[in-house]
Chain A
Amino acid sequence: AQKITQTQPGMFVQEKEAVTLDCTYDTSDQSYGLFWYKQPSSGEMIFLIYQGSYDEQNATEGRYSLNFQKARKSANLVISASQLGDSAMYFCAMREGGAGGFKTIFGAGTRLFVKA
């Protein structure tokens, strides 16, 4: 069963507007972490934001915020004031693990297109 689900293969947003990228996850662990990465056409994965399962406040990093709803098992990424440079693939990821260390699994991604 998929552990990370990103239901939006592609999204369009007008420059300067906000956009929400959806992510739901499935885990039986009590302690886990959720991430969002950006992958531009150059190919490298760029870390954007992290939310721990015990964090009570939603994580924010500049124009990025993570809307964490634990009961619904969702971790949506909100990008405010979109810029043309935000056009890229966005991946939601979850870290699970134990004594041996953590394993991070990724969703299938959402391609964001920012229109001028």
Chain B
Amino acid sequence: EAGVAQSPRYKIIEKRQSVAFWCNPISGHATLYWYQQILGQGPKLLIQFQNNGVVDDSQLPKDRFSAERLKGVDSTLKIQPAKLEDSAVYLCASSLDRFSYGYTFGSGTRLTVV
């Protein structure tokens, strides 16, 4: 089966600019996660979707970050405006449902804010 697809692979932007990341989960996976991984740290959950509804966005900085999962398949994570501290790898993962422990991760998008 195809894995979790993410694009772009790398992105460099200036602070105060906006950026968007795209994720296509494994076909049939109802649950989608966005994680932020700052260099030297473990991934931190930003938002979790069940189909096209948000299950948990408690750690999403909502003043600048937004995410959507229209039609319950692909998802987009946006940052506007970006800050230097947003430099990180953004990982998308999916699972069959929110009770599954088998997450499949994508390769991530490495964002550098200068």
- Residues in A lying within 8 Å of B, measured CB to CB: 4, 33, 35, 37, 42-47, 50, 91, 93, 95, 100-109
Closest CB in chain A relative to B56 CB, distance in Å: 6
CA distance A80 to B55 in the complex (A): 38
Which residues of B lie under 8 Å from residue A4 when comparing CB positions? 42
Known contacts A44-B107, A44-B108, A50-B101; A103 and B43 CB within 8 A of each other: no
> Within B60-105, which residues are at the interface with A (CB < 8 Å)?
89, 91, 93, 98-99, 101-105
How many residues on chain B are close to A (CB under 8 Å)? Answer: 25
Sorted nearest first, the 10 A-B pairs with minimum C-beta distance are A101-B98, A106-B42, A45-B105, A44-B107, A43-B108, A106-B43, A43-B107, A44-B105, A108-B42, A107-B42
Looking at the complex, which one of A35, A43, A108 makes contact with B101 (CB distance below 8 Å)? A35
Please determine whether B40 and A108 come into contact, CB atoms closer than 8 angstroms: yes
B25 contacts partner chain A, Cβ-Cβ < 8 Å: no
Q: Is the CB of B98 within 8 A of A102?
A: yes
| A42-B107, A47-B103 known; A103 vs B42 contact (CB < 8 Å) | no
- When distances are taken between beta carbons in the complex, the residues of chain A under 8 Å from B19 are none
Indicate if B45 sits at the interface (CB-CB under 8 A).
Answer: yes
A-B contact pairs, 11 of them (CB 8 A): A43-B107, A43-B110, A44-B108, A45-B91, A100-B55, A101-B56, A101-B98, A102-B99, A105-B42, A106-B42, A106-B43
- With A101-B98, A104-B103: A43-B89 Cβ-Cβ less than 8 Å: yes
Q: In whole Å, how far is B76's beta carbon from the nearest beta carbon of chain A?
A: 20
Q: Which residue of A lies closest to B41 (CB)?
A: A108
Q: Among B42, B93, B98, B102, point to the contact of A109 (Cβ < 8 A).
A: B42
Which residues from chain B contact A46 at a C-beta distance below 8 Å?
105
In the bound complex, how far is the Cα of B50 from the Cα of A87, in angstroms? 34
In the bound assembly, the distance between CA atoms of A101 and B32 in angstroms comes to: 12
